Chains A and B, each alone.
Chain A
Amino acid sequence: MNDDWAASWAADKLQSDSDVTAAEIVSAGVLRIDRKEYGPFIAAILGEKQSVSNVDIESFAGSEVKINFFANIPRDAIWTGGAINAARAWPAGHGGFADLGRAIRNEPDVTRYRNKELAFFEDGFVQHTAVRSVERVYDRKFRLERFGKPDFVVVLIDAYDMSAEDIRSAYSRYGHFDGALKMSSYGSVTSQAKDAAALFGAGAYKWGELLGRLNRA
């Protein structure tokens, strides 16, 4: 899927969105989106990249129109910390196609859009008393520098019930981590998921369990 195909795909999907009055390609990979409730904005559709880097964001620096949002089509694409920082500095919102949909519906100014779930955990790490600093390694991978203890690397897993496959898939996509955190406060962590994490020398946690784990070496 090239960027033009992706932009056409996105325009087609958005035209059937009840919150959108028009979605039109204005240049290669760039859409103008008119909304029912709020003002129009410009979105760059990055294509079908499995990994988005700062180079992908910066490639739009010469664009004739001001980009307000960077969207990548695959819902589970990896965004590097550099890409996220580049989008924030632009300033522009960023995320997958579902994030674009939420920004359309909920954000008068889409440049301020943050994925609420990810923001909750990022803010929670920053506020934890055992944590000195938080580095966003990837969209869902954080390195937590702790006071007087080794760094702790966390991967967030968006699963109602966290399974062994969720753990293996996260390891294959994000590499080593010390803890896999189930994002949903409901549901369960299967014993098979805990076993799979242990094979990688990691743990599988719910939010409260992870907060306690961060206080221990």
Chain B
Amino acid sequence: MIRNQDVEKIAQFAGELSRQISGLNWFAFGSCCDRIDEAEDLDLIVIYEDMEAAALVRASLREFELYPLLDVSMFSAEEQRDHCFIERRGAMPLEVFSKATNRVSMTP
């Protein structure tokens, strides 16, 4: 149920939020990265620097039109350092994933 244009919109939303809140990093992982045409939702990891930033991100996500299609895990930078979630889940930067899906959709 995820479409290429949805991924682009999600990446734009993440980019805008990152300009407003410092220290955010967005990553995509899971089945959507393998087969977007079969994925029901998009798995995201958001790494944040402080609790206030995390609360702002969560509140903004709840207002986002495509939030029903997202499965978001949020970790502090300290948790990421301790547990290496990005590496363990094979996550890729959301911006890179968005550009890759855009290229696929442009292919005839």
Contact = CB atoms under 8 A, between A and B. Distances in A.
Contact of A169 (B58, B65, B85): B58
Interface residues of A, number: 26
A74 B82 contact: no
A159 interface: yes
A107 interface: no
Interface string B35-69: 00000110000001001001100100010010110
Give the 5 A-B CB pairs with smallest separation, nearest first: A165-B74, A97-B68, A165-B54, A190-B79, A163-B75
A165 B58 contact: yes
B1 interface: yes
B75 A165 contact: yes
Contacts of B55: 168
17 contacts: A74-B67, A74-B68, A75-B68, A98-B41, A101-B40, A161-B73, A161-B75, A163-B74, A164-B76, A165-B51, A165-B58, A165-B76, A168-B55, A169-B58, A190-B79, A192-B76, A192-B78
Given A96-B68, A165-B51, A192-B82, 14 more contacts: A73-B68, A74-B68, A75-B70, A75-B71, A101-B1, A101-B40, A161-B83, A163-B74, A163-B76, A165-B54, A168-B51, A190-B75, A190-B79, A190-B83
A96 B1 CA distance: 15
B59 to A, nearest CB: 10
A50 B76 contact: no
Contact of B3 (A16, A76, A161, A164): A16
Interface string A72-84: 0111100000000
Interface of A: 9, 13, 16-17, 50, 73-76, 96-98, 101, 159-161, 163-166, 168-169, 188, 190-192
Given A75-B67, A101-B1, A192-B78, A168 B54 contact: yes
A98 B76 contact: no
B81 to A, nearest CB: 11
B40 A98 contact: yes
Contacts of A161: 73, 75, 83, 85
A46 B82 CA distance: 41
Interface residues of B, number: 24
Interface of B: 1, 3, 40-41, 48, 51, 54-55, 58, 62, 65, 67-68, 70-71, 73-76, 78-79, 82-83, 85
A190 B68 contact: no
A159 B73 contact: yes
Contacts of B3: 16
A50 B58 contact: no
Contacts of A166: 74
B34 to A, nearest CB: 17
